[in-house]
């Protein structure tokens, strides 16, 4: 069984995880604004990388508001 750190997610799963629309996630992946990779022509995401990406966004927003 795979640990949640190395878990690979589909676009639909990431949209659910981030509470965002599938088109938004797809657009972010295409632009390279969210950590993602293509596998067999479809986007895939590593949960651990998404968690780091989220933490960086939170840190950046806190620093901007100070």
Could you give the 3-state DSSP secondary structure of residue 44? strand
User: In CATH, what number does 4-65 get?
Assistant: 3.90.105
pLDDT over 70 at 45, yes or no: yes
Q: What are phi and psi of 23, to 5 degrees?
A: -65, -40
More confident residue, 16 or 62: 16
pLDDT number for residue 26: 97
Average pLDDT, the chain: 91
Distance, CA of 54 to CA of 66 (rounded, Å): 19
Region 12-31: mean pLDDT is 97
Query: 44: alpha, beta or left, given left = phi > 0 and alpha = psi -120 to 50?
Result: beta
pLDDT number for residue 61: 79
What's the predicted TM-score (pTM) here? 0.84
């Amino acid at each position: 069984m795979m640990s949640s750190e190395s878990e690979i997610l589909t676009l639909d799963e990431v949209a659910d995880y981030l509470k965002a629309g599938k088109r938004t996630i797809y657009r972010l992946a295409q632009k390279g604004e969210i950590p993602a990779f293509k596998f067999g022509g479809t986007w895939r995401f590593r949960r651990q990388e998404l968690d780091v990406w989220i933490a960086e966004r939170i840190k950046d927003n806190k620093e901007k508001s100070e």
